Amino acid sequence: MSAGCVACQGAHKKEITLVLCVIISIIKQHTYHLQLHQHKFAPNTFNTMPATEANSLQRARENALRDSPEYQSLPDEWSIGIDPDAGDRVYFFRDARPAEKHYTHPSLGPLPSPWILKAVLNPSKNTYQILYYDPKNHIKSRKDPRFLDKTLLQHSKNVPKELWIAASSQRNKNLDVSKMKRQPIGNRDIRDYFEIMKVLDPGDGTKGGMNGGVFVARVKGVPNKLYIEKRFKAEQVVMAKEEIKMIRRLNHAALTCYSVAYIIEGEHPTASVWIEYCDRGDLDGLIREFSKRQKERPLPPEAFVWHAFGGLLDGLAYLQTGVGHLHNPDARAPPSWMPILHRDMKPDNVLLRSRSTVGSNKYFYCVLSDFGLACEDRPRNDPSCDRLQQSGFKLGTMAYLAPELCWPPFPQSKQELDMFPPGALHSRKSDMWALGATMFNLAECKSIMGHCDLLTRKPKGISHGDYMQGTECRKLKDPLTIPTNYSSQLKEAIRRATNWNPRERPDAVGFVRKFEQLQHAAGFDTQRNAPPLPEWATKKHEYFAPA
């Protein structure tokens, strides 16, 4: 293993790797330091350098690597090192293949030319920093050059005009998403402009989806920006048209971000939409990771639960009114806005996206995705009302249906399995209940269906799938009560969101102000000094890694 490398994660295995690297580095100390510092020290100075000083510099290198945002963004099974033969350039390697040095970050992708990552010594303090370095112009920077305006502009020059906006846009904390430009929906097939990085759903029904395939993709010529492509089958293009138009309307940080799309109708209909790629998985995966550790019984930090709750609540408020309401007391809905119902709020539709600033200590963005079942919230007698809303036909994820959408005590006929109870339909209140149930499961972290009791009274002969469509399994857990580790204010917020009676349950807009009061009273209205999520709670992809 090359000297100077350190383990990439805080797990036990990585600590062992780190210790071994240090031992090897000390054994080879003289040779390594001669290679590393001969451009910094005169030969006679280095040859007489005390061993304690050399050890101090070695520790300084390791500390710099540990503090590097690029190190913190590495996926499992990857580590980082310094290459003295390449002018102290930083490289990455798989733990299983330490001799293979790579200069492309497996998750973040390559740096734009001519930038490299480099270890830089501060001789006066005997400390190192890992900096981005432009050897052509001799510029050192802490800012990631992947997201410089110059880099994004270059991206737009490298792609066809159909992708100019998509290739050069970047969501970050300084951007008013309400003013983001949107690439028009095209009428020409642009799939050849993209390279498939990973197949998430081949579209053949094996993954349960009804679409024509879901893929991680990147634009050819834009090396480090990823998208999710959702394809539609020929018979789905008419419905796809409505979904794509709806997604393109959305401009909120907690809602999926449209990038580009095309729709071709006629004899050979086809359509695809590309949306932002969220790189840290979803709440479903996070909950499952916590639930695996039953012996330790870890719980997510309360600050993260409030963070997720507030963002998604504001996302639902935006769907109702076309404007965010959280910490915006003067919010006014645009008169032309048509309210939207999501109709499928659940943990695996809440994606996690890293901050644009690499190494940021702030929590991931929580992004509500999958608008395949979403519809405009119109009265049933409106001719433009969604036909499934009008018919009362059952749709959505059965475990996350609000109580008013369920048969008491459970459906007992084919008609009851297929249809909602008379007069029942998805609403702003049912979206709110599903959000509250999602937050309950995030806080409890035992199961993604912890809000349902599927065992205590389930009759023999009825499947779990049928039983979860009834009121009884929900009633046994009502009111939903989170662990005592959390504040009474969070407990109240979740109880209000999951109130059994829809007449007493608030919708998102009606709940925002009370939510703010509860969050403030609990002391969690900022992320200052908030404890981080455990490294194992979310996954880091390695789509840019070599085969």
3-class secondary structure, 470: strand
- pLDDT for residue 29: 35
pLDDT in the model for residue 96: 93
Whether 172 has a pLDDT exceeding 60, the answer reads no
Give the phi and the psi of residue 433 in degrees, each rounded to 5. -60, -45
**No. of H helices and E strands in the chain?**
17, 16
Q: Which of 110, 489, 454, 444 is nearest to 299 (CA)?
A: 444
Mean pLDDT, the chain, integer: 86
Whole-number pLDDT of residue 206: 76
- Higher-confidence residue of 469 and 174: namely 469
pLDDT of residue 173: 44
User: Could you tell me what percentage of the chain is helix, strand and coil, using 3-state DSSP and rounding each to the nearest 5?
Assistant: 35, 15, 45
State residue 125's pLDDT score: 80
Q: Is 247 within 8 Å of 275 (Cβ atoms)?
A: yes
What residue type is assigned to position 155 of the chain? H
pLDDT in tens, 365-406: 999 999 999 999 999 999 999 999 999 999 999 999 999 999
Region 333-339: what's the mean pLDDT?
95
Average pLDDT of 218-236? Answer: 90
Q: Where are the beta strands (DSSP E) in 202-249?
A: 214-219, 226-232
Give the pLDDT mean for 461-469: 95
Q: What is the pLDDT of residues 45-93, one digit of tens each?
A: 334 455 676 678 788 888 899 888 899 889 989 999 999 899 999 999 9
User: Burial level of 250, CB count in 10 A (0-12/13-18/19+)?
Assistant: buried
Start-end of CATH 1.10.510.10 domains in the chain: 283-381+393-537
Q: Which of 141-145, 191-195, 379-383, 500-504 has the highest mean pLDDT?
A: 500-504
> Percentage of the chain surpassing pLDDT 70?
84
Prediction pTM value: 0.81
**pLDDT reading at 419 higher than 60:** yes
In tens, the pLDDT along 297-329 reads 899 999 999 999 999 999 999 999 999 999 999
pLDDT digits 0-9 by tens, 499-509: 999 999 999 99
109: left (phi over 0), alpha (psi -120 to 50) or beta: left
Where in the sequence of the chain do the CATH 3.30.200.20 domains occur? 149-276
Assess whether pLDDT exceeds 80 at residue 168. Answer: no
- The CATH architecture one would assign to domain 149-276 is 2-Layer Sandwich (3.30)
Other C-beta atoms closer than 10 Å to the C-beta of 204 total 9
Confidence band, pLDDT 50/70/90 cuts, at residue 545: confident
Which comes out higher in pLDDT, residue 15 or 468?
A: 468
Could you tell me the CA-to-CA distances from 353 to 172, 280, 362, 526 in Å, in that order? 11, 6, 11, 19
Question: Is a pLDDT exceeding 80 seen at residue 364?
Answer: yes
Say what the pLDDT of residue 34 is.
27
Contact 58, 29 (CB under 8 A): yes
pLDDT score at 181:
72
What confidence score (pLDDT) does residue 358 get? 63
Confidence at 43, pLDDT banded by 50, 70, 90:
very low
pLDDT given for residue 473 in this prediction: 97
Is residue 237 predicted with pLDDT exceeding 90? yes
Q: CATH assignment of 283-381+393-537?
A: 1.10.510.10
pLDDT, position 383: 95
Instruction: Select the more confidently predicted residue: 467 or 544.
Output: 467
The pLDDT score that the predictor gives to residue 477 is: 96
DSSP string, 13-73: HHHHHHHHHHHHHHHTHHHHHHHHHTTTS-HHHHHT--HHHHHHHHHHHHHHHHH-HHHHT
Backbone angles phi, psi at 79, to 5 degrees: -135, 180
pLDDT band at residue 152, thresholds of 50, 70 and 90? low
d(CA 243, CA 369): 12
Q: Which of 498, 496, 487, 481 is nearest to 524 (CA)?
A: 487
Q: CB neighbours of 261 closer than 8 A, spacing ≥ 6?
A: 183, 185, 186, 244, 247, 248, 271, 272, 273, 274
Rounded-to-integer distance, Cα 117 and Cα 129, Å: 10
